[in-house]
Structure 1
């Protein structure tokens, strides 16, 4: 599963209930310096009455020591829980369960108000996955209620239990809102990264298709002009070829600018004209269609890219003497009689495969038995929607 698919913004799936509450590796939870100070302030309403009650005992015995250890261990856990935020899930879960057990111990041993359970239930909500927080906090409240019943304090303490449950529920939703915001921030970062990556791939693919064809054609025509001058000394023809090279260079520069700006459109008919000129300059017999009327308009741009890259490969690698191009309403075939005996995937074929896949099409390149390659691009038509069933009108009241 991709990383972006793991970002959930609520509890609308079973997996989301068990997700780690800290998807952001840069987030350490509450500030480890300021939180102990703030936590000590929050603990005062709990520690002051319990400490006074213990201090009022006439003598210090084992029971007083035991209760004091429970009380201050419980308070210490509340102060130190930010330090376990980056720990593994078992450590955090053990810490939260242990703190809730300490809170229940204080309620049972010191006959304290069940309101003190709020410290443990709140820590559980922010520290562990939502499912574990619900399980442990509900169990804590249930055991707290049983302790009140066993001690005969249920009538006086059930209101505090309801308060603890209500506040814990509010904190539960607050914690999950914070997690959703964090996940949303991470998702936005990933979207931005993917957008940059996709744009780089688009520019790289377009520049490869554009410059590969243009530079190959320029090289072929420049070589033709050189051969004309060396062999026949036909200056007018050589000058004409050089003019075409100049025109191609200007056109390539314009296309590069348009590609970077994403304003460039490829025309299948224009690519046929350019392919015919490039193949003739390379002394390859072009067997090309003269019109593209039989190709669906929405596919012509994609097929233009395919034709451009296939002709470029023929000029570079094939050693062919003839190239045939056939067009259909949803397909394009380019066949050459070169010396290639196998298909060697390169950046061009990979780029064309990506282009066709983006519109639901496929690209197949295969070696011909006598040598050469056959490249076929095909884009299937979308399936027609099922027509709504016809409804026969009946006279009012169903009477004939």
Structure 2
């Protein structure tokens, strides 16, 4: 991605001197079909005296026809250059070189002023990359000076060449500024697209972690209430479990709303309380820490997500009878004695890996001897923890019905 961004947006890189103008340059270029009519106006100071001189000749000669062809071909190139914007680089280079050769020929056979070269040198800086513009325009101006010197008009015309060079230089910087602005526009469009994609991934990941855990716990508690009623007929116990299910659904609904509005942050301590209640309802022996004071505060939200997803996987897939959770300053480890003999990376584990990668950490999942999984999340101690975004203030998630 970094390389792609550099090649797409490389405003300050040396490569930008050689890359073609952006593919959509033509629609930003001069006027489309209106340009030829505008070009005629700009060409009048050159065409009127040349045409008058050609018409004043007493006879039509081969030299006269050749002069007319050179002059009007040069003028036609200037009138149609916007339609070359979206061509391949080699076509644009050939067009620019041809136009400048015609400009030099016009200077040699018809024009009395070096100012005629401006039409070609100006077109070059807009059609081709900056490096190619320098490579083409500098020799053009040098050959123009030689032509004026050969015709004995250098002292009279060098001022025009200086003017052409100055205007071309100004247009050179303007053309590169336009290219930079277009690259910035494309960069902004891509950034906006990436922001939307990242937000979708965040929302999908958060909803998966939230609803997967909440619905699994609700299922476990509802099943426990049913078994209590079927086996022992302990109505007060069943009512208590159903009351907790009701609290869980309300809490889950509140969390979904907070997640959608991007202002929910998981609390590790609340997740421990929720994990203890969920595992107890599933009749799984839980060996959990009683405090999270030894975990760095900036890592606690990330570890809260890890704990939530790991406990959800235990409840849904493991068939475990015992779960043990251990905490350190920059690590969290969850171990179960289930029946798993292989690691299957589903959406939950992939989401946790992305969360930890964003915080500079890693997630390792391995199979225990005899069955079961060990999930270890670790963030290197030297890496600063993720800071809450100003747009997403931290909200402490309180346990409702035994689950955060």
Bucket of the pairwise TM-score, normalised by the shorter protein: over 0.9
Output aligned runs, 1:299-314, within 5 Å: 299-314=299-314
Q: CA RMSD in A?
A: 1.5
**1:144 and 2:137 equivalent?**
no
Deviations 1:241-267 (A, max 9, x none): 000000101111111111111221211
Is residue 274 from structure 1 mapped to residue 274 from structure 2 by the alignment?
A: yes
Residue equivalent to 1:343? 343
- Quote the residue 1:174 is aligned against: 174
Q: Note the 1:60-139 alignment, pairs <5 A.
A: 60-139=60-139
Q: For each residue in 1:202-224, what CA deviation from the matched residue of structure 2 results, as whole angstroms up to 9, or x when unmatched?
A: 11111111111000000000011
CA distance in 2, matches of 1:227, 1:100: 91
**Change beyond 3 A, Cα 1:194–1:8:** closer
**TM-score, length-normalised on structure 2?**
0.92
Secondary structure class of the residue paired with 1:27: helix
Residue 182 of structure 1 and its aligned partner are, at CA, apart by: 1.3
Within-5 A mapping of 1:169-318 = 169-318=169-318
Deviation at 1:30, TM superposition (A): 2.4
For residue 373 of structure 1, report the CA deviation from its aligned partner.
Answer: 0.6
The 2-side partners of 1:5 and 1:216 are apart by: 45
**CA 1:355–1:313 in 2, change beyond 3 Å: closer, same or farther?**
same
Distance in 1, matches of 2:47 and 2:57, equals: 16
In 1, the alpha carbon distance for the partners of 2:233 and 2:125 equals 88
Could you tell me the TM-score, scaled by structure 1's length?
0.93
Please give the alpha-carbon distance, in whole angstroms, between the structure 1 residues aligned to 2:189 and 2:27. Answer: 15
User: For residues 25 and 319 of structure 2, what CA distance do their matches in structure 1 show?
Assistant: 56
Q: Distance in 2 between matches of 1:53 and 1:27?
A: 38
Q: Distance in 1 between matches of 2:346 and 2:143?
A: 68
SS across alignment from 1:189 = helix
CA contact under 8 A between 1:28 and 1:85: conserved in structure 2? no
Cα distance, 1:23–1:381 mapped onto 2, change above 3 Å:
farther
- SS of equivalent to 1:86: coil
Say if 1:20 and 1:338 are closer, same or farther in 2 by CA, change over 3 A: same
Change (3 A) 1:379 1:322: same
What's the secondary structure of 2:27's corresponding residue? Answer: coil
Aligned-pair distance for 1:74? 0.3
Alpha carbons 2:366, 2:373 under 8 Å: kept: yes
Residues 61-86 of structure 1 show CA distances to partners (whole Å, capped at 9, x for unaligned) of 00000000000000000111111111
- Kindly state the Cα deviation for residue 9 of structure 1 after the two structures are TM-superposed: 6.9
**Distance in structure 2 (CA, Å) of the matches to 1:153 and 1:118:** 18
Return the alpha-carbon distance in structure 2 between the equivalents of residues 8 and 305 of structure 1: 36
Structure 1 residue 343: deviation in Å? Answer: 0.6
Aligned residues of 2:50 and 2:111 also touching (Cα < 8 A): no
Query: In 1, are the aligned partners of 2:21 and 2:179 still within 8 Å (CA)?
Result: yes
Unmatched tracts of structure 2, length 5 or more: 385-404
**Distance across 2 between alignment mates of 1:32 and 1:23:** 15
Q: Does 1:5 align with 2:6?
A: yes
| CA-CA distance at 1:296 after TM superposition | 1.1
Gap regions ≥5 residues in structure 1: 385-400
The corresponding residue for 2:393 is: none
Deviation at 1:3, TM superposition (A): 4.2
Output the CA distance in 2 between the equivalents of 1:309 and 1:293.
21
Deviation string for 1:247-300 (max 9, x for gaps)? 101111111111111221211111111101101111111111111111111111
Instruction: Give the structure 1 partner of residue 161 of structure 2.
Output: 161
Q: CA deviation at 1:32?
A: 2.0
Taking a change above 3 Å as real, the CA distance of residues 26 and 140 of structure 1, as seen in their structure-2 partners, is closer
Is the 1:23–1:182 contact (alpha carbons within 8 Å) kept by the matching residues of 2?
no
**Residues 158-206 of structure 1: CA distance to partner in whole angstroms, max 9, x if unpaired?**
0010000000011111111111111111111112111111111111111
Task: Name the CA distance, whole Å, in 2 between partners of 1:166 and 1:295.
Answer: 66
Alignment length (residue pairs): 383
Q: Higher relative CO (CA 8 A, sep ≥ 6), structure 1 or 2?
A: 2
